[in-house]
Amino acid sequence: MHHPGPPRFATVGESVELAPRRPDPDMAAEWRLVERPAASTATLGDGSVCHLEPDAPGVYRAAVSTADETHEQVVRAFPSVTETVRFSVTADDFGHDGTLAVADRAIVIGKFNDFTMGTHWAERDGDEWVIEADLPPGTHHATFSFDGSFDATATDEVTVEGPGRPRVELTGETADGDLVVSADARAAPSGSAPGVEFHLDGRDALAESAVTIDGDELRVPGEALPETARIHAVAVAERHSVADTLVVEHDGGSGDMDGDGTVTVSRPADPPAWAADATIYEIFVRSFAGETVDATFEAIERRVPYIESLGVDAVWLTPVQASPTHHGYHITDFFDTAADLGTRAEFESLVERLHDAGIRVVFDLVINHSSRDHPAFQLHRAGVPEYADHYERVPASQDVSDIDWAGTDAPGRYFNWTRIPNLNYDSLAVRRWMLDVVDEWRDVVDGFRCDVAWGVSHGFWKEVRERVKAADPEFLLLDETVPRDADFAENEFDLHYDTDLFEALRDIGTGGAPASSLFEALDESVERGYPDRAGHMRYVDNHDEGRYLAACGAASLRAAVGATLTLPGTPMIYAGQERGVERQRGTMRWHDGDNALTDFHRRLVALRADQAPLRAPEVRPVSHSVETGETEAVVAYERSDGDETLVVVLHFGDGTATVSLETPVGDTDLLGGDSVTSDGTIQVDDVVVLPTGSR
């Protein structure tokens, strides 16, 4: 069945991609708009994949017809809550010489409603370079860069006042033979109390006439339940929430949820339970083995005992597919491993060895783009008809590179990434191709870290999720979405980059913000509308960022690492972080690494695994005073699982801070094993974890 999937939720002016699922490369599909709000003049174009841009709030219904099927896709559009803002910088902001002042345009890096990363120019207005965008409430950044290079950049920040997004969570049960679905709608910070909208799924045989809705409750008689029913809901106030979903499966019995279990209710958007308790270890594969050792799967496999000694639960490997680059993100063959790393069999041997050690493997899935040396792109640019629609095309006048591309147009891409053209997801052949890539690797590994997830359409990720979760509900999907976007939590990804905490920890480490600002960073997840059950990856380093150690120093690094491993979320350690590597993608320090720092990481990982409060979802600030040391370099918070409570104190400064806590705590630091109290105060070098109780 080529049904396009669940109802979609958007704002007015936001483009929604419509595409049949399970496409055959040669199939034809035709879309038509069968319903739209009275105030709308929206239309759909030709093509098997279409884009609907709602121009009025309300419900839109689009029908897609293939050779022997017709299905409907519902799009619910909500009012757009945006403000037109102006970003600007001057030559002085670049900290560069006056030669920049002669440039008429600067490329803008940011992700806004009407354009995306590194694809639009800011025009010069006198001494400024300026761009405008319509943005929702929140703090937004635009980075200006000349000639698409990252050598000279400047950033402007604009805050749009207004409420965040509400949130909603569904629960289901049977009562008196009926299915009862309840929605817990939660107001956004500074937002009004939301209402709830329920939506059925066009793939199911549940008739709207069988459903009764009363406020935040939906009820269906047991005899009206089909074999499968998917119930969706959104909370609606000034803005709308990320949708939540329940899947109800019914075998035709009485509807009793206990005993013989004739009705089961599941939550398809929730992360796998193991991910909340896991610690992830990222390996940059070509830098891991050492200075004089070839980086191969076999070489990494021989070092698994070290990985195992860290106590981590999952390893994320940077790309292992064929690629001409050191980092591996320029793929030339999606279906085979890189020759310099080893054979497919050797890769699978590494995976098996990690599995034997109780460690899951996360595969770096790169499907936004390919290398421009991929045969498909070469054939595309050389005018081979079968590949004409495999890559995005933009008018040559919009291209911001200095390349004289073959043909009359240019490939779509981001930033200055001229070597990795974007795949065209408006092509059914490409969608089929990339689904085949997903199928190729999903049974080999335990999860995907999805590179440039923000560049691939929501509709495609929703299909990928259903595809991999049908085979393995425990499969992990981690998005690289920068800046953060809660819409990728709507039946798409389990785990999300937390760039808010990452940036806050950098600001704290450089002295640009107080240690307490980490609480504001955590609050951003709620402000942005992430569901309570969404997973967040917390980290201080990754392969795309300069090392925290080099930027902030050793003392701050320990406290920052302590934050990622004692705050809610899924911590990630980037290989080398624990050995004192200072270069972003530098070679692993084996013979000359920092063993004390490695032991510090081991103890933190072990403590988090041993202490359930450190894996609990809530955190509460603890009042304290700093007797000696820098006040703004210290933060304290409480972690509790309901049965036991711990207090964590972090010190981002040099030396030892003397701290008084209002909360009574024990004498012994659970991390170091030593007594850290003296005369009613606590001595904190970097991280202290204490049980609550009398001193």
CA atoms of 12 and 42, how far apart (whole Å): 11
Rg for the chain, CA atoms, rounded: 26
- For helices 554-566 and 595-610, angle between their N-to-C axes, nearest 10 degrees: 20
CA atoms of 652 and 395, how far apart (whole Å): 50
Measuring CA to CA, which residue among 590, 686, 592 is closest to residue 635? 686
Three-class SS state of 495: strand
**Token pair for residue 473?**
């509900």
Q: How many CA atoms lie within 13 A of 261 on its CB side?
A: 3
- In the block, tokens 């009613």 appear at 680
* Residues linked to residue 108 through DSSP beta bridges, in sequence order: 120, 144
* DSSP designation for 246: E
**Token pair for residue 134?**
């319509």
CA atoms of 556 and 552, how far apart (whole Å): 6
Within a 10 A sphere around the Cβ of 663, how many other Cβ atoms? 15
Active-site position among 451, 463, 487, 541: 451
Contacts of 511 (CB under 8 A, 6+ apart): none
CA distances from 229 to 19, 114, 225, 332, 428 (A): 22, 35, 7, 41, 28
Within a 10 A sphere around the Cβ of 190, how many other Cβ atoms? 12
Type of residue numbered 437: V
Tell me how far the alpha carbon of residue 464 is from its chain's centroid: 15
CA atoms of 512 and 61, how far apart (whole Å): 50
Contact 132, 160 (CB under 8 A): no
Measuring CA to CA, which residue among 608, 320, 618, 273 is closest to residue 440? 320
Beta strands in 79-166 (DSSP E): 83-90, 105-109, 120-125, 128-135, 138-145, 153-160
Tell me how far the alpha carbon of residue 174 is from its chain's centroid: 34
CA distances from 599 to 309, 311, 384, 559, 595 (A): 10, 11, 57, 14, 6
46 by Cβ neighbours in 10 Å (0-12 / 13-18 / 19+) ranks as exposed
Q: In what order do the strands lie in the sheet with 195-200?
A: 195-200, 228-236, 244-250, 263-266
Q: Among this protein's residues, is 451 annotated catalytic?
A: yes
* DSSP designation for 408: S
Contact 622, 663 (CB under 8 A): yes
Active-site position among 480, 498, 527, 541: 480
Contacts of 97 (CB under 8 A, 6+ apart): none
Measuring CA to CA, which residue among 164, 325, 336 is closest to residue 239? 164
Type of residue numbered 157: E
Residues serving a catalytic function are: 451, 480
